[in-house]
Amino acid sequence: MSEDVGEGTAVLRVESVRKSFGDSLVLRDVDLDVTSHTVTALIGASGSGKSTLLRCAGLLEEIDDGAVWLDGEEITAPRVDQDAVRRRIGVVFQAYNLFPHMTVLENITLAPRRVHGVRRAEAEERARELLDRLGLGARAGEYPDRLSGGQQQRVAIVRALAVRPRLLLLDEITAALDPELVGEVLAVVRGLKEDGMTMVLATHEMAFAREVADQVCFLDGGVVLERGTPQEVFGDPREERTRRFLRRIVEAGRL
């Protein structure tokens, strides 16, 4: 689904990134490497910096210090065309952010046509292909308010994929869903992993993170306190703070 520049390539590199909002330091010298065709899960309590890290990586927030690289290019450097960079990154949020006055097909084809200059017929062909793959082929002509939350979130994922992103950032995409709808959205992410999509996801779905991620990063107080494979972070965490966090997750029945 995305352009390949080689196995093991560092698609995304975050180096010593700091970000404050007013007097609140939200990210503290964060480092992160995401290699091609892998899934990185960001876990941690609310307010730990997961969403801010995603927004900085996607150039939706301006960093205060450090650097972000995409496929070897420093995308936070002065004079970089950030709009051009954003076209290579797909982002899906908690809120679906679909235009209510547009059909599903119109929502999906808007960016390919207006931003990427794709012809309408080509944009619609790709949109319908993706909708079919995600079980939404019959919904192309519907308006968002006629869809369930899970269906709307799947449309939001299709919209992000329609521009053929190099990197997909997913920010708590199941947080706004009823529990019975979570599974259908997570199934989409599993399919994207099988397709080789490079993804970074912030999630509270610990069992899912353990299943699908290649790398897990535990954030606490704006710091990546611990990182490793799911087996390392969930099975034998080094840091006491990580152990306490996971213990509460287990007690809540979420892992």
Give the least confident one: 8-17, 96-105, 197-206. Answer: 8-17
For Cα atoms 158, 48, 176, give the angle at the middle one, nearest 5 degrees.
40
* DSSP-derived 3-state class of residue 120: helix
Spatial neighbors of 81 by CB under 8 A, at least 6 apart, are: none
Residue 144 lies in a domain: no
* 222 DSSP β-pair partners: none
Q: How far is CA 194 from CA 26, 39, 124, 191, 221, in A?
A: 33, 10, 24, 5, 33
pLDDT at 113: 95
DSSP type of residue 236: S
Does 6 score more than 80 pLDDT?
Answer: no
CA distance 222 to 242: 14
Q: How far is CA 226 from CA 47, 93, 241, in A?
A: 16, 24, 9
Which pTM was predicted?
0.92
CA distance 11 to 199: 10
Does 83 score more than 60 pLDDT?
Answer: yes
pLDDT band at 252 (very low <50, low <70, confident <90, very high): confident
pLDDT at 60: 95
Residue 138 lies in a domain: no
Does 2 score more than 80 pLDDT?
Answer: no
What CATH number does the domain containing 245 carry? 3.40.50.300
* Two tokens, residue 162: 């329609």
Does 3 score more than 60 pLDDT?
Answer: no
Q: Give the domain range for residue 213.
A: 10-97+167-251
Chain centroid offset of residue 158 CA: 13
CA distance 189 to 170: 9
Per DSSP, helices labelled H in 9-138 are 50-57, 82-86, 104-114, 120-133
CA distance 28 to 9: 25
Q: How many domains does the chain have?
A: 1
Residue 212 lies in a domain: yes
* DSSP-derived 3-state class of residue 66: strand
Residue 152 lies in a domain: no
Residue 23 lies in a domain: yes
Q: How far is CA 104 from CA 122, 125, 137, 143, 189, in A?
A: 16, 13, 10, 6, 20
CA distance 138 to 220: 43
CA distance 183 to 149: 12
Query: Tens digits of per-residue pLDDT, 51-72?
Result: 999 999 999 999 999 999 999 9
Query: Tens digits of per-residue pLDDT, 151-166?
Result: 999 999 999 999 999 9
Strands 24-35 and 39-43: unpaired
Please name which of 136, 135, 140, 138 lies closest in space to residue 124, comparing C-alpha atoms: 140
pLDDT at 8: 56
Residue 182 lies in a domain: yes
Residue 112 lies in a domain: no
pLDDT at 197: 96
Query: Tens digits of per-residue pLDDT, 35-52?
Result: 999 999 999 999 999 999
Residue 38 lies in a domain: yes
For the chain, what percent of residues have pLDDT higher than 70?
A: 96
Query: Tens digits of per-residue pLDDT, 85-137?
Result: 999 999 999 888 999 999 999 999 999 999 999 999 999 999 999 999 999 99
pLDDT band at 255 (very low <50, low <70, confident <90, very high): confident
